[in-house]
């Protein structure tokens, strides 16, 4: 099996062909957003990080913005910088350029936002013009790099949509592709099941370490996670504890061996199934997937969520028949497994895989058509100073 994608200079394959307009710091967001709204073929990446943070968070911002720029769905990148931000813009620029794609930059403090806007519009137009010359061609499925996420989970997520996404993940791994999941908070209470699938002891130890760190951070700040995890929506959907949510959540990672664990913002290297250490909230987690190099996200939901991402198609999958009927403008695939069709799991995995290949080859998701997903997040651990 194969899909139609855009070849990139670093050997990766894009499923979309945008020019990324990436803000390097919260203060530059408006100009980046203005440019993206005017020039067709661009996609903005705006966020609230990049300055006045502790070193680990500045480091995380630099790493993430570099990896975001390297995502194969971007043919070129325009960086929009303020000028005095704490994050190392040169490092981001050089890092993205290493992937072989064109990188341009405008700096607001050099001559003001109106001049940065004028220059940015011209540069973005030129980058889109170049990008549009790249044509889709056929690639085998080992070039796939797919992410999974669950959000607004209810009981049906653990019973139907998560295992169905997991079945699709297994098929991608069998075809030699790369699959990525995370949401470390939602490993709590289920980590012993994941560690059994680690390819070596170091990977198992790393899984335990990231869960322990996440749990200690939550307790240190909040005393009790409930209400945050599981969220109010999860509880309304029947999920009582984080353990119950986790046991359902991990099934979206499928059943294949876990090859390694990457940090938030790192680009995942290698074939097979990987974990990224990350929070479960949508805006920050979708960014982690895009930074990991994912081309498409399979998004399992119970109560239904609208989010997409500016340049990574997000396929919404639910096993809740009520949600599917209520939210036709958001849900792409209904997993009909509740109440008697558990033997249909392999079949649902194939249906999701086929849909994934169609989307990879250019079919638009509901969120893409709606234009929902312009406001992603960038994770921080420490305070804003």
Partner 1 sequence: MKQGEKAIVLNARDNVATALADLETGSSLEMNVGNKTLRVKLTMSIPFGHKFSLLKIKTGESVVKYGEVIGTATADIYPGDYVHIHNVVSNRGTSNRGVE
Cβ 221 to partner 1 shortest distance, Å: 11
**8 Å CB contact between 184 and 255:** no
Q: Which two tokens stand for residue 233?
A: 């929506």
Q: How far is the CB of 73 from partner 1 (least distance, A)?
A: 34
Is the Cβ of residue 138 or residue 224 nearer to partner 1 in the bound state?
A: 224
Which residue lies nearer to partner 1 by CB, 158 or 376?
Answer: 158
Return the number of the residue (233 or 272) whose C-beta is nearest partner 1: 233
Q: Of 339 and 371, which CB lies nearer to partner 1 in the complex structure?
A: 339
Residues with Cβ < 8 Å from 114, sequence gap 6 or more? none
Question: Of the two residues 95 and 280, which places its CB atom closer to partner 1 in the complex?
Answer: 280
The torsion region of residue 61 among left (phi > 0), alpha (psi -120 to 50) and beta comes to: alpha
* Beta carbon of residue 239, minimum distance to partner 1 (angstroms, whole number): 8
Distance CA 351, CA 253 (A): 17
Report, in Å, the least distance between residue 264 CB and partner 1: 19
Task: Please report how close the Cβ of residue 292 comes to partner 1 at its closest, in angstroms.
Answer: 25
Residue 365: DSSP 8-state: P
The residue behind tokens 């098929």 is 171
Closer to partner 1 at the Cβ: 215 or 368?
215
Strand partners for 297: 147, 314
Least CB distance to partner 1 at residue 215 (A): 6
Which residues, 6 or more positions from 253, have their beta carbon under 8 angstroms from its beta carbon?
148, 166, 169, 179, 181, 194, 273, 275
Q: Long-range contacts of range 7-11, CB-CB < 8 Å, 24 or more positions apart? A: 7/134, 7/137, 7/139, 8/72, 8/75, 8/99, 8/100, 8/101, 9/99, 9/100, 9/101, 10/70, 10/72, 10/98, 10/99, 10/100
Q: How far is the CB of 183 from partner 1 (least distance, A)?
A: 13
Applying CB under 8 A, the residues found at the interface with partner 1 are: 154-156, 158-159, 185, 188-190, 193, 215-216, 218-219, 223-226, 229, 235, 237-238, 240-244, 247-248, 302, 320, 322, 338-342
> In this complex, which beta carbon is closest to partner 1, that of residue 61 or of residue 337?
337
| Distance of alpha carbon 291 from alpha carbon 297, whole angstroms | 12
């Amino acid at each position: 099996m194969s899909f139609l994608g855009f070849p990139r200079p670093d050997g990766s394959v894009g499923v979309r062909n945008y020019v990324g307009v990436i803000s390097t710091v919260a203060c530059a967001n408006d100009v980046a957003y203005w440019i993206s709204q005017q020039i067709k073929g661009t996609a903005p990446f705006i966020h609230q990080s990049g300055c006045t943070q502790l070193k680990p968070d500045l480091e995380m911002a630099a790493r993430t913005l570099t990896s975001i720029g390297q995502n194969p769905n971007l043919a070129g990148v325009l960086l929009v910088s303020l000028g005095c931000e704490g994050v190392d813009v040169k490092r981001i620029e050089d890092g993205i350029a290493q992937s072989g794609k064109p990188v341009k930059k405008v700096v607001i403090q050099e001559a003001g936002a109106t001049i940065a806007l004028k220059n940015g519009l011209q540069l973005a137009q030129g980058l889109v013009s170049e990008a549009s010359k790249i044509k889709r061609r056929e690639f085998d499925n080992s070039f796939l790099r797919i992410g999974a996420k669950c959000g607004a989970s209810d009981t049906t997520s653990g019973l139907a949509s998560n295992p169905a996404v997991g079945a699709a993940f297994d098929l991608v791994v069998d075809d030699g592709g790369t699959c990525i999941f995370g949401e470390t908070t939602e490993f709590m209470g289920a980590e012993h099941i994941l560690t059994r699938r680690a390819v070596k002891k170091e990977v198992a130890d790393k899984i335990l370490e990231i869960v322990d760190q996440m749990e200690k951070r939550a307790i240190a700040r909040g005393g009790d996670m409930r209400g945050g995890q599981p969220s109010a929506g999860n509880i309304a959907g029947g999920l009582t504890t984080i353990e119950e949510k986790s046991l359902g959540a991990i099934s979206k990672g499928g059943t294949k061996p876990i090859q390694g664990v990457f940090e938030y913002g790192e680009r995942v290297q290698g074939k097979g199934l990987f974990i990224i250490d990350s929070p479960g909230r949508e805006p920050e987690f979708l960014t982690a997937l895009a930074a990991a190099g994912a081309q498409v996200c399979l998004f399992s939901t119970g109560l239904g969520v609208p989010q997409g991402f500016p340049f990574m198609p997000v396929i919404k999958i639910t096993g809740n028949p009520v949600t599917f009927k209520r939210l036709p403008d958001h849900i792409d695939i209904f997993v009909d497994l509740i109440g008697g069709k558990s033997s249909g799991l392999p079949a649902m995995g194939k249906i999701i895989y086929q849909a994934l290949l169609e989307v990879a080859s250019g079919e638009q998701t509901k969120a893409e058509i709606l234009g929902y997903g312009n406001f992603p997040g960038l994770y921080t651990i420490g305070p804003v100073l």
